[in-house]
Amino acid sequence: MNPSSLLSLDDALHKLLLCAKPLNRVSNVSTFKADGCVLAQDLVSAIQVPSFDNSAMDGYALRLADLSLNDGVLKLGQRILAGHAASTLNKGEAARIFTGAPVPLGADAVVMQEDVETLDAEQVRVSVVPPAGQWIRRRGEDVASGTVVLARGERLGSAALGLAASIGFDHLQVSRSVRVALFSTGDELVMPGTVAPADMPPGAIYNSNRFCLRSLLKRLGCDVTDLGIVP
């Protein structure tokens, strides 16, 4: 055979892929169980992520204009935990705030707790002047409403599943798995465990390809039916 008449690997793959067609079969699966599946829909966010301005640090929310007053001493006006509402921050006040908690209206920066001195139960002194917006995660900073966050055809991994959950999807439309029948051919094939190495007949080999190919197919998300060895 003339080697020049043979297809290159790239050409052979190209010809094979031209023959491949989408199955157009869709399943609705729990986001918990969708790892490794292929999305059959664009995921569009109906919300902003984050949905509100929140603190990226344990510390104190404050108004920058107040730091030039009274040598950086501010009155403690409120304590804001994650999952709880905040009141408007008044002039001359700081709010004790924790990571993920909503930033109160009127605050324009958060100072981490290590840079704040507690004077008593009602007052703190801020030892640094932060830049505007420091440690504030803005509404919609990660995902804007109406944005396609995951595109149809994407294989879902752990990060993608977390992203889908973050915009409220508890179920996902995914493509049905490709079904593959796998069999091996050859009288020389012996399954590991059926014959000890010392007892292998002349010309026999262990069927290693069966294990390798099944693993590769499973990693591609295929539903594999093993048909064993054909003589």
In this predicted structure, what is the pLDDT of residue 75? 96
Task: State how far the alpha carbon of 186 is from the alpha carbons of 202, 203, 228, in Å.
Answer: 14, 11, 11
pLDDT, position 51: 95
Q: Tokens 């981490």 belong to which residue?
A: 112
- Dist. CA 49–CA 162, nearest whole Å: 13
Q: Alpha-carbon distance 80 to 77, whole Å?
A: 10
pLDDT at 106: 96
pLDDT at residue 1, as a whole number: 62
Integer Cα distance of 130 and 136 in angstroms: 11
Look at residue 190 in the predicted model and tell me its pLDDT: 95
- What secondary structure, in 3-state letters, does 120-144 show? CCCEEEECCCCCCCCCEECCCCCEC
pTM of the predicted model, to two decimals? Answer: 0.72
What radius of gyration do the chain's Cα atoms show? 31
Burial of 173 (0-12, 13-18, 19+ CB in 10 A): middle
3-state secondary structure of 160: helix
Distance CA 82, CA 10 (A): 54
Say how far apart CA 77 and CA 166 lie, in whole Å.
Answer: 32
- Facing residues of 174 across strands? 27, 39
What are the tokens at 114? 């290590």
pLDDT-flagged residues of the chain (< 70):
1, 3
